[in-house]
Amino acid sequence: MSVNRNTKETCQSKMTLLEEILKANEAFVKNEEFKAYKTDKTPNKKAVFLTCMDTRLSELATKAFGLKNGDIKQLKNAGAVVSHPYGSTMRSILVAVYALGVDEVFIMGHHDCGFGALKPDPVIKEMKDRGISEDTFNTLDHSGIDVRDWLKGFDSVEESVTETVNNVKNHPLLAKSIPVHGLIMDPETGKADLVINGYEKVEE
Ligand SMILES: [Zn+2]
């Protein structure tokens, strides 16, 4: 059953999350804390990183490499995957390369990935429990959209990173001179293992 969790939460506490973050924002600006983050649009390290949206990686994914605000372009999605050649993640990588001064691409998955372990059936059940009708699923099915397949995670993070690196590297619109690296991070320690060294596959 989908009793509105947020409403319940709001009644119990004084401040909603929205109010809380807007209040913090007001103080941040007033105290000029932004000065510590001053940078520009061009990444100092000329790189774009695609990592997972896992909460443990929010800061770890950059701090563990000694990267600071402004050093790289950061992209995040569930699982750090590029599964659609003309989806918004691939478009962002291409924009980073051709319009925002990026010369290298890093794809970084991680161990214990929530998306990797994702099973579509419980997610679909949850959607239905929250009011998405059977009709909607039928309509999508008739339009050729396989929701089960679309929601499927991966069995091996090594395979997933390799597949995404290959999808990006072999994209018809990516210049052959751009290296695409593959890494896997341990979300507990920040230790990164190299899966693919993109310099070895670069064609000038
Ligand atoms: Zn993940």
State the pLDDT at residue 201. Answer: 85
Contact 67/45 with Cβ under 8 angstroms? Answer: yes
Instruction: Please name which of 47, 72, 63, 78 lies closest in space to residue 180, comparing C-alpha atoms.
Output: 47
Residue 185 Cα, ligand 1 centroid: separation in angstroms? 10
Identify the sign of the CA torsion 171, 174, 179, 182.
Answer: negative
Banded pLDDT at 3 (limits 50, 70, 90) = very low
Q: For the chain, what is the domain count?
A: 2
Token pair for 51: 């990592």
C-alpha 153 – ligand 1 centre gap (Å)? 10
Average pLDDT over residues 169-186: 98
Indicate whether 138 belongs to any domain: no
15 part of a folded domain: yes
Looking at every residue in the chain, the average pLDDT score rounds to: 93
Q: Taking a C-beta distance cutoff of 8 angstroms, is the pair 168, 180 a contact?
A: yes
| Residue 178: inside a domain | yes
Ion ligand 1 residues within 5 Å by Cβ: 52, 54, 113, 115
Query: For residue 68, how far is its CA from the centre of ligand 1 (angstroms)?
Result: 22
Residue 58, both tokens: 């929010």
Would you state the pLDDT for residue 202? 83
Q: Are 2 and 130 in contact (CB under 8 A)?
A: yes
Q: How many helices (H) and strands (E) does the chain have?
A: 8, 5
Say whether pLDDT at 110 is over 50: yes
Domain of residue 9, residue span: 1-38
CA 108–ligand 1 middle distance (angstroms) = 10
Could you read off the pLDDT of 112-148 as tens digits, one per residue?
A: 999 999 999 999 999 999 999 999 999 999 999 999 9
Asked if residue 183 belongs to a domain, the reply is yes
